[in-house]
Amino acid sequence: MQAKTNRRFKTLPRRILRNWQLYVLLIPALLFLYLFCYEPMYGITLAFKQYKPRLGIMASPYVGMANFEKFFQSYFFGELLRNTILLSVQSLVIGFPIPVILALFLNQLSSQRYKSTIQTIIYAPHFISVVVLVGMLNIFLSPYSGFVNKLLNLLGIDTINFIGRADMFRGVYVWSGIWQSSGFAMIVYLANLSSVDPSLHEAAGIDGANKLQRIVHIDFPTILPTVIIMLILSLGGIMNVGFEKVYLLQNDMNLETSEILATYVYKRGLLAGDMGFSTAVNLFNTVINSSLLLIFNGISRRVGQASLF
């Protein structure tokens, strides 16, 4: 085994020289990765310091775990954690199966024209920016001039302040996110379904299988590895709720359910200037995400399904 490893390292320089053009092409990507992903990681030390701008990161006084203790013992720790987890879990539970279902049933359409039209309609919201989406929500859901409330009034239902009610915030966030992002995920699954051998469907049809049976026994097993990979990535980022959209939808009336870790880090770090404390909160968030990713990836690998590594 050792001899085999030594031979591999001896032949490595030869392979690099033989394919030096490919390695030259890698240099910009490696530089980008180093400068923007690895070099800034020294800033993590802020979580263990009382940052003073005039002293810089390295010269600021070391406070150990004081920032973490301050966060864990604060009265808003439970509320922030609960809001972040509930918002993310609801988005995952409701939003994750929808693109899979859309892809499976859209793949069964025999008319390519209808299929392309529906696919374009569902995929189009993906190109709407978060700022524009929030602006649309504010207009559509306005309690005074929004067409949603106008429609509710015609049905005899009282006006609802969707954006201003704390109990409505999660529903507005989740369902608008599904409308915007389902098309992109659906495209991923449709691309995977294009690899299904048509003869399998023909054989199943001859044996008397209906469309639902063909979906369950042919199409779904084909996309299952991709579904698992996407699920692992989603579970690994369960604490990463989209900051921009939450912050733009946030107001004093819905703050009870809309204040999450990401918005709190922004307010304490950039607005209040407490960089050490906000870095500690964000590092806690990152550690939780990384741990979940490793746990769910390990579970998937142990049960014999697809995994990231």
State residue 144's pLDDT score: 84
State residue 137's pLDDT score: 92
Domains in the chain (CATH in brackets) are 84-302 (1.10.3720.10)
Contacts of 43 (CB under 8 A, 6+ apart): 57, 279
Q: Which residues of the chain have pLDDT under 50?
A: 1-3
**Whether 258 contacts 169, CB under 8 Å:** yes
State residue 2's pLDDT score: 47
Please write the tens of the pLDDT for every residue from 13-48. 788 888 888 888 989 999 999 988 888 888 888 889
Alpha helix ranges (H) inside the chain: 2-18, 20-33, 56-59, 66-72, 77-95, 97-106, 112-123, 130-140, 147-154, 166-193, 198-206, 211-214, 220-236, 243-249, 255-258, 261-266, 275-302
State residue 14's pLDDT score: 81
State residue 7's pLDDT score: 57
Please write the tens of the pLDDT for every residue from 47-57. 898 888 888 88
CA gyration radius for the chain? 25
State residue 136's pLDDT score: 92
State residue 299's pLDDT score: 77
